[in-house]
Structure 1
Amino acid sequence: MNLQKNISFIVFAIFFIILSIGLFTDTKKIQSPLINKKLPEIVLPDLKSQNMISHNFLPKETFLLNVWASWCQACIVEHEKIKNLSNKGIKIVGVNYKDQREDAIGWLSIYGNPYLFSYSDKEGRLGLELGVYGVPETFIIGEDGIIKDKIVGPITDEIINKRIDPLFRKNND
């Protein structure tokens, strides 16, 4: 009887520890295995024209690859920051993720379009290759096509100051 209580207690304790680790892990700090790897080759339709766009159309300088959707509430919160970064001259390419084309185009007409262009990733293929598990997510891509950083969740002033601005300053020096 005591042995059974001890085993039950140990199982409960292990479960509690695993649950605690999961609850207190900051998903925004999870390092992507793609950091310091080449951005996967992209061939997807342009959101507006529906013409196929390859990775050859990506900027040849450091840029942001922002994964967004019209159904994403956090994307609305983030969008003003994205527009401000674009207004500062930072190149931004959008990836419209698992969305309806008409909804996405309407969303951009309401909230503004800071993107050089947006890929339409309706089936989530590119998102899968990039390890996207929610929107918004933003990748900082170096001029060499290497993924320098991955930002999970909405971009904030703190993220801009600590993670985005330093990489763009370094590349403009």
Structure 2
Amino acid sequence: MGKLIRFIPLILFVVLGVVLYRGLSLNPTELPSALVNQQFPEFSLYSVNDEKTLKTNADFKAGIKLVNVWGTWCPSCRAEHEYLLKLSKTNRFTIYGLNYDDERAAAQKWLAALGNPYQFSLFDELGKLSINLGVYAAPETFVIDHNNIIRKRFAGPLNANIWRHEFEPLIAQIESEQQAGK
């Protein structure tokens, strides 16, 4: 029994090492979401740019959609904004914004000064849609397919490298599914 007690620290060290090694292999930008492979939640929110224009799921264009969660208080959102402007020039998908935990006037000023990559941006004043999507912080980007099914959730700012590795293969796959009538 006395000899066994001497090995307890070694056993604990090995177990701790395995747990830490497993943690280091995880991707911090990949957030699990119960909504992946589920319908995009129903919403009824006003536009950032027009507080009298109510938007709903019916206002989404047909096809592939990116929903980008952003806020004027978010330095990473500012870093990815130029790339979103570049992406908005494509006709492969439509980008929508979800203004998160922000003030409408600040959001309007931001879009006027930096450019507006969004078909429209929703002002989620009470945070209801953000909560339904399980948003932790900004920026987060969701890929929604042509059937309004959430296919991906990505936390962090987008750039060319991330787009090429994380998004481009999925967009191509959804386009293939769309052409096949799935």
Task: Give the TM interval when normalised to the shorter protein.
Answer: 0.7 to 0.9
Root mean square deviation of aligned Cα: 2.6
Residue correspondences, number: 173
Whether 1:100 and 2:96 are equivalent positions in the alignment is no
Identify the residue that residue 43 of structure 1 maps to in structure 2. Answer: 44
Matches within 5 A, 1:82-93: 82-89=84-91, 90-93=93-96
Q: Report the residue type matching 2:49 in the other structure.
A: K
Whether 1:150 and 2:153 are equivalent positions in the alignment is yes
Q: Does the residue aligned with 1:27 lie in a helix, a strand or coil?
A: coil
Give the TM-score taking structure 1 as reference length. 0.84
Identify the residue that residue 139 of structure 1 maps to in structure 2. Answer: 142
Q: Does the residue aligned with 1:29 lie in a helix, a strand or coil?
A: coil
Cα gap change, 1:100/1:6 in structure 2, threshold over 3 Å: closer, same or farther?
A: farther
Cα gap change, 1:110/1:9 in structure 2, threshold over 3 Å: closer, same or farther?
A: farther
Q: Does the residue aligned with 2:88 lie in a helix, a strand or coil?
A: helix
Identify the residue that residue 32 of structure 2 maps to in structure 1. Answer: 31
Identify the residue that residue 79 of structure 2 maps to in structure 1. Answer: 77
Q: Does the residue aligned with 1:76 lie in a helix, a strand or coil?
A: helix
Matches within 5 A, 1:115-134: 115-134=118-137
Matches within 5 A, 1:4-23: none
For the residues of structure 1 that align with 2:82 and 2:175, how far apart are their CA atoms? 21
Runs of 4+ in 1 over 4 A off after TM superposition: 4-24
